[in-house]
Amino acid sequence: MPDPSSQNKVPVMIGIGEYHVGSGPMMAIGLGSCIGLTIYDKDRHIGAMVHIMLPESSGRTDRPGKYADTAVLLLLKKLSDMGCQKGSLVVKMAGGACMFEYFGNNLNIGERNAEKVRAILADNRLRIASEEVGGKSGRTVAFYPDDGGKVTVRSADGVAHEI
C-alpha cells in the first residue's frame, strides 16, 4: 500500500559515501560527478540508496559507500540480508556529470563512476531500469520506496522529474 504522505516526510539525507536502507524517502543533494544509485524491491516496497564518489576502492574498506565497486555490492548485500530476491529489484542511477572539463585531464570521473556501476551490476546479472547520467549539470536525486520506488531528479533550475 503506497503511503500518500511519503512526499511530505523529511527525507534522510545521504552524504558523500553514505548509504541508507528503508521504506521512507531518502535524498542525495548536489551530485556532480558523484552517482546516486537506488535499488528498489518492488515486492517488499523497501529500497536502498548510496552516494558514490569514486569508481575504485583500491582495497579500502572503511567507506564502502564511497566507491562504485564496493557500493553496489554493499547495497545488494543489505537488501539480500533483508530477504530481498534479485528478481524483484529495480535499479536506477543518476549523476555522473562532468562539470569541469578543463581540469579533467581525460579523467572523466563521472563517466568512470557510471561505467563501474554498470559493470558491477552486470557481474551480478542486474540491469538498470532507468538512468540519467552524464552532461555538465548538477543533480539532486530523491528516492521514495514507499511510493512505488519513485525516483526524481532535479537540476539547478529547480524542476524535478521522474526517471
Q: Which residues here bind another protein, judged by CB under 8 A?
A: 13, 15-18, 29-34, 53-54, 58, 60, 63, 66, 97-104, 107, 109-110, 137-140, 155-156
Closest CB to another protein among residues 22, 138: 138
Residue 131's H or E segment, with its range, is strand 128-133
CA distances from 51 to 7, 37, 118, 137 (A): 20, 7, 15, 17
Give least dist CB 100 to another protein, A. Answer: 5
34 is catalytic: yes
Cell of 163: 526517471
Local structure of residue 146 (DSSP, 8 states): G
Give least dist CB 131 to another protein, A. Answer: 17
Residue recorded with cell 534522510 = 12
Catalytic annotation, pick one of 21, 34, 39, 97: 34
Closest CB to another protein among residues 40, 143: 143
* DSSP secondary structure of 4-38: TTGGGSPPEE--TT-EEEESS-EEEEEESS-EEEE
Give least dist CB 76 to another protein, A. Answer: 21
Closest CB to another protein among residues 97, 121: 97
Provide the annotated active-site residues.
Answer: 34
